[in-house]
Amino acid sequence: MGSSRLPGFYKMKMAERLRRLAEQLELSRDEMDGLGESGTLPLANADAMIENAVGVLGLPVGIGLNFLVNGEDVLVPMAVEEASVIAAVSLAAKIVREGGGFKADSDAPRMIGQVQVAELSNPEAAKAAILRQKDSILAVANGLHPAMKSRGGGAQDVEVRLLAVGAETHAIVHLIIDTQDAMGANLINTMCEGVAPLIERITGGRVRLRILSNLADLRLARASCRIPFEALADFGFSGAEVAHGIAEASRFADADPYRACTHNKGVMNGVDAVALATGNDWRAIEAGAHAYCARNGRYEPLTRWWIEEGALLGRIELPIQVGTVGGAVKANPLIPVLLRTMGNPGARKLAGIMAAVGLAQNMAALRALGTVGIQKGHMALHARNVAVSAGAKGSAVEEVARALIAAGEIKLHRAQEILAKMVAARGPSAEAT
């Protein structure tokens, strides 16, 4: 792929953007069929994916630009309804490029499957017995998915935790499973259910729950960046002032869970949007991320920003459980096209990119919060949504949006008034010009 810098991309009409994307990625006509007006999930696929299907809900899909991750340019597909997300993350990525871009990595895709064992007469003896029979348990688990084992994945280890549950002590068996390029939920659940009878025979107890854990703290993704002060100067503030504002906001989030929650929501604006665009379970990623934030007994931020030798440094670490094969990747014909825009990354590379997106999204929010406030840029983009809600179409959307911003009143009734005046002055066609 060429550069992820596509100057003026946001100014282009959608058809022109699609042509530019096809040129950049050397996409064929067949591959481009998944984008544009033909990109809706077929109703037959939707009906097969869920129960009681009645239709398909659309979300805008855009491209996060300017990302340089581990020295490679990446175009990042994002599915999101919030107006400012892609604009903000693209600007942040452009700023980070000036410091050399993002460094990112992720752990091997090891997930945890839990088997809960109750009614144990001697929990300590049960734990010891399970560990003695570890190889037998792994053999049963891998026998259920031999192809995964042959590819270097599959069940790899067994751990046991003793946990007080009410008046009882339960043995919580953890199957450690390498899911390769799959997210692996169904694989993990199948293995947990498959080893349950053997675990009951080994322990003399009774197995209760058998399911994966979404606290995927064995497969963490990380990203970091270093931004020279001069790259941050904006809004009439020096780069040093902006950098110190971001670092101070980071310290606030570390000190206060009320702030940390909103701080992390900004991170997940980016992470979730990429998860949706790549057919991944954003709900699982959200649950794991927020649980990870509380691992030390208090709710903490996912990112840290600090000042060092004339530069702003940032770092993020969070569990990201994603796949690039199976599941919705096959069921939704648009997903392979969007993965192609990223260069068809494997699960580990995708997780690292998502961590970089989360860090960029967070930096964009803190940069605004520490200077002119979050609303200036957000409301300018939100004005277009208000214009559409008022009935504006085509070029009239931008015209109404500009008038709303100039009036300093981005409200539906005001947009309706502006559009009505345009129609009165130019005739009914004005709202659709």
Q: What is residue 376's predicted lDDT score, i.e. its pLDDT? A: 55
Residue 82 annotated as catalytic: yes
pLDDT digits (tens, 9 = 90+) for 174-225: 999 999 999 999 999 999 999 999 999 999 999 999 999 999 999 999 999 9
258 Cβ neighbours under 8 A, 6+ residues apart? none
Question: What is the separation of C-alpha 280 from the centre of its chain, rounded to a whole number of angstroms?
Answer: 9
How many other CB atoms are found less than 10 A from the CB of residue 67?
28
Choose the catalytic residue: 265, 286, 290, 417.
265
| pLDDT tier at 432, thresholds 50, 70, 90 | low
DSSP 178-232: E-TTS--HHHHHHHHHHHHHHHHHHHSSEEEEEEE-S--TTSEEEEEEEEEGGGG
| Category of 210 on φ-ψ map: left (φ > 0), alpha (ψ -120 to 50) or beta | beta
How many other CB atoms are found less than 10 A from the CB of residue 400?
27
> Is it the case that residue 3 has pLDDT exceeding 70?
yes
Residue 281 annotated as catalytic: yes
Q: What is residue 89's predicted lDDT score, i.e. its pLDDT? A: 97
pLDDT digits (tens, 9 = 90+) for 107-161: 999 999 999 999 999 999 999 999 999 999 999 999 999 999 999 999 999 999 9
CATH number of 110-212: 3.30.70.420
Domain ranges of the chain: 9-107+221-369, 110-212, 376-432
pLDDT digits (tens, 9 = 90+) for 405-429: 777 777 888 888 888 888 877 766 6
Q: What percent of the chain has pLDDT over 90?
A: 70
> Is it the case that residue 348 has pLDDT exceeding 90?
yes
Question: Which range has the worst mean pLDDT, 40-54, 115-129, 138-152, 274-288?
Answer: 40-54
> Is it the case that residue 377 has pLDDT exceeding 60?
no
| pLDDT tier at 389, thresholds 50, 70, 90 | confident
Choose the catalytic residue: 82, 107, 159, 193.
82
The whole-model pTM stands at 0.87
Do residues 126 and 203 lie in contact, with contact meaning Cβ atoms separated by under 8 Å?
A: yes
Residue 103 annotated as catalytic: no
Q: Which CATH number fits domain 9-107+221-369: 3.40.50.11740, 3.30.360.10, 3.90.770.10, 3.40.50.450?
A: 3.90.770.10
Q: Is the dihedral of CA 349, 353, 354, 358 positive or negative?
A: positive
Residue 33 annotated as catalytic: no
Average pLDDT, the chain: 91
Q: What percent of the chain has pLDDT over 70?
A: 95
Choose the catalytic residue: 281, 300, 382, 431.
281
pLDDT digits (tens, 9 = 90+) for 228-268: 999 999 888 999 999 999 999 999 999 999 999 999 999 99
